[in-house]
Amino acid sequence: MTSAGPTRAERRRNTEQRILAAARELFAERGFERTTIRAVASAAQVDPALVMQYFGSKQQLFSQAVRISVAGTGTGTGTGTGTGTEAGTDTGDRPRTGGPEALTDSLLASLGMKIGGLPEASLAMLRSMLTHPEAAEAARAALDHQITELAAAMSAGHEAERQAHDARLHAALAVATMVGVTIGHQLLGIDDLRRASPEEIAAALRPALHALVTGAE
């Protein structure tokens, strides 16, 4: 009977996480504009006013849910999308070592995760980046970061044979390709992509990514 109920701090953290989870889910499936604080509160079984009291504003709720610093000038957590616990978009985990094949594989591995189940925070980000300015800014930063990492790993192979300019362009195209495939698969639900297994997609995409990473001319 006398089961010790959760402490006050526990309850607080609990509902805070419940709100964040609901926000992530709704932001991911409807985007920033179509997601109302009332809907988030309702999904978290909480009063809308509480969401405001905890997160300050809808924008800050979004930032917290997607784990971006937002702030002002834009340095903040730097990496962009996913430094938090479960936020993703960590495309190309550590493509430091290995040849082009390893690079391609690491890209494809991250794609497999994306297609398997991209964290909702990243989906929320992708979903809103075309219509919500702050999300666009964060997405640009995150993608730029990925491009930089990938380009560095690419030009690490061929000493100075390849111009850094070229490496960044090819890296940008590779990243854009991943974005396009992810959008088509996860957000638009293109049939031919939905039907295919992550392995099939990875296999079909490998030569193309390899060509981009290698930089054949």
Choices 1-9, 72-80, 88-96, 176-184 (CB under 7 A): range interacting with DNA: 1-9
| Cα–Cα nearest to 146, from 63, 73, 88, 188 | 88
44's CB contacts (< 8 A; 6+ apart) are 15, 18, 19, 21, 22, 23, 51
148's CB contacts (< 8 A; 6+ apart) are 168, 171
Q: Which of residues 15-34 bind DNA (CB under 7 A)?
A: 15-16
Give which of DNA, its own copies, none residue 157 binds (C-beta under 5 to 8 Å, depending on kind).
none
CA 70 to chain centre: 15
Give which of DNA, its own copies, none residue 181 binds (C-beta under 5 to 8 Å, depending on kind).
its own copies
Query: b/e per residue, 173-183, with b = 16+ CB within 10 A?
Result: bbbebbbebbb
Is there a contact between 122 and 26 (Cβ–Cβ < 8 Å)?
no
Per-residue interface string for the shown chain with DNA, residues 42-81, x marking contact by CB under 7 A = ---xxxxxx-xx--xxxx----------------------
**Counting contacts by CB under 8 A, is residue 157 touching its own copies?**
no
Kindly state the smallest distance separating residue 33's Cβ from DNA, in Å: 8
Kindly state the smallest distance separating residue 47's Cβ from DNA, in Å: 3
Rule CB under 7 A: which residues touch DNA? 5, 7-9, 11-12, 14-16, 35-39, 45-50, 52-53, 56-59
